[in-house]
Amino acid sequence: MKTVDSFDFAGRKALVRVDFNVPLNERFEITDDTRIKATIPTIKKILADGGSVILMSHLGRPKEGPTEKYSLKHIVAPLSLILGVPVKFADDCIGEQAKEQAAALQPGEVLLLENLRFYKEEEKGDVAFAEKLSQLGDVWVNDAFGTAHRAHASTAVIAQFFTDRICGKVMQAEIDNARHILENAEKPFTAIMGGAKISDKILIIERLLDKVDNLIIGGGMTYTFTKALGGKIGKSLLEADKLGLALNILEKAKEKGVKVYMPLDNVTADSFSNDAKREVFATGEIPDELQGLDIGPKTIELFSQVIAESKTILWNGPMGVFEFPNFATGTNAIAEAVVKATDDKNAFSLIGGGDSAAAINNAGYGDRVSYVSTGGGALLEYMEGKVLPGVAALEA
Ligand code: 3PG
Ligand code: MG
């Protein structure tokens, strides 16, 4: 695979697929710029070589063509500030004007294209659309790890129009870190799995059972496990059709000698809101009218102890509804324990993207773990052992 570091971009126009699918608030301000910051080294290397950069990305899931809410123009000013270079904008990602803007680009200059998903051809992987995009640059760099699980025009189909297909620095780091965890994890290896649904995590959990020593289960999905074991979960999250699956995971873990840790206690709420009344109940004893929204203090102690003794830690999914500050205690405590193991024990800690990345950044610990992934679904699929079309396109 060609890499950004090994390629000389002097005099070349690099068409770079990035994942700038970042969360925006109602004033169109970026609330987590991790994905933007991550791409800066790739962009800077190309500019330093004397190349120019044409950035392309999607934002959100627009269904009706151009939509103000999903315009990448909101990214131009923050990106210029982070990069320290003024960024030009093309308000259509293909067409005569985009072609002229790309052609006029001088070495050291950066152009950002409007949202690729304003054309339905992007998600369809349309070849003619991919070819139009390809005409804007003379080399293709794929640095969009977060979108590498999509076989879209700009992430995969476009590769056929370039002789120089180059793996970006984000893409490279993501693959290296994920491989390190899957192939060279120092033991004890602990996986912390959280989030709302077992169904999202089942494949990765099954794969990890062959690799980990400890499996910590937290977050909304624990209630399905508790219910399956005969406990009372009140109004807590439940995937009623996954009870058998939950028991099956526990059975498999036992067969493989993996120690499973589940919450001992839970913080409950009398409504789904930050201001709800909080109480602590032992696992399996949540009253009918209440719902569990966080792990309790005994659980924090237990989980933290397991984490402290680990040399490799993979964390994917929050321990509770961390978006509500009153129910973020468990998630923040786990973030703290992971940071402590990284500092004190020199443990390798990988934080799986999406919610867990937001949680670790919210807790202020983003730069104190070994690696925070920019991929949500992409990281899960990579770790499940699937071939990611965006990666395959670089290898072909
Ligand atoms: C993501 O945030 O998951 C990626 O940017 C891909 O977006 P998608 O799930 O809408 O394809
Ligand atoms: Mg997604």
Token pair 């005409």 in the structure block, residue: 135
Atom of ligand 1 nearest to the CA of 152: 11
| Ligand 2 centroid to residue 338 C-alpha, Å | 25
User: What's the 196 CA to ligand 1 centre distance in angstroms?
Assistant: 18
Q: Tell me which of 37, 197, 232, 298 is the catalytic residue.
A: 197
Per-residue model confidence as pLDDT tens digits over 18-28 = 999 999 999 99
Residue 257 falls in which region: left (phi positive, over 0), alpha (psi -120 to 50) or beta: left
Q: How far is the CA of 387 from the centre of ligand 2 (A)?
A: 16
**With the C-alpha atoms ordered 21, 26, 28, 30, is the resulting torsion angle positive or negative?**
negative
Say how many Å lie between the CA of residue 148 and the centre of ligand 1. Answer: 9
The mean pLDDT of 203-228, rounded to a whole number, is 96
Mean pLDDT score, 345-368: 89
Counting ligands in written order, which one lies closest to the CA of residue 35?
Answer: 1
Active-site annotation holds for 150: no
Active site residue 35: yes
**Looking up tokens 């409950």, which residue turns up?**
268
Q: Give me the helices (H) in the chain, please.
A: 34-48, 73-83, 96-104, 120-124, 127-134, 169-183, 198-208, 222-228, 243-255, 297-308, 329-344, 355-362, 377-384, 389-395
Comparing 108-112, 198-202, 236-240, the range with the smallest average pLDDT is 198-202
The DSSP result for 87-120, as a single string, is EEEESSSSSHHHHHHHHHPPTT-EEEE--GGGSH
As residues whose CB is below 5 A from the ion ligand 2, the structure lists 377
The best mutation among 20, 21, 117, 388 to test binding of ligand 1, ranked by most ligand atoms within 8 Å of the C-beta, falls on 21
Ligand 1 atom closest to the Cα of residue 376 is 3
Pick the catalytic residue: 146, 296, 354, 376? 354
pLDDT at 353 exceeding the cut of 90: no
User: What is the spatial distance between Cα 342 and Cα 74, in angstroms, rounded to a whole number?
Assistant: 36
60, 231, 284, 377: the active-site residue: 377
Is any atom of ligand 1 closer than 6 Å to the C-beta of 377? yes
Q: Judge if the beta carbon of residue 200 lies within 6 A of ligand 1.
A: no
Q: Does the annotation count 256 as an active-site position?
A: no
Tell me if residue 386 is catalytic.
no
Does the CB atom of residue 389 touch ligand 1 within 6 A?
A: no
Count of CB atoms situated within 10 Å of the CB of 367: 9
The answer, yes or no, to whether residue 381 has pLDDT greater than 80, is yes
List the single range of 122-131, 296-305, 356-365 with lowest mean pLDDT.
356-365
Give yes or no for residue 358 having a pLDDT over 90: no
Q: What is the pLDDT of residues 246-271, one digit of tens each?
A: 999 999 999 999 999 999 999 999 99
Can you give the pTM of this predicted structure? 0.92
Q: Is 51 in the pocket of ligand 1 (CB under 6 A)?
A: no
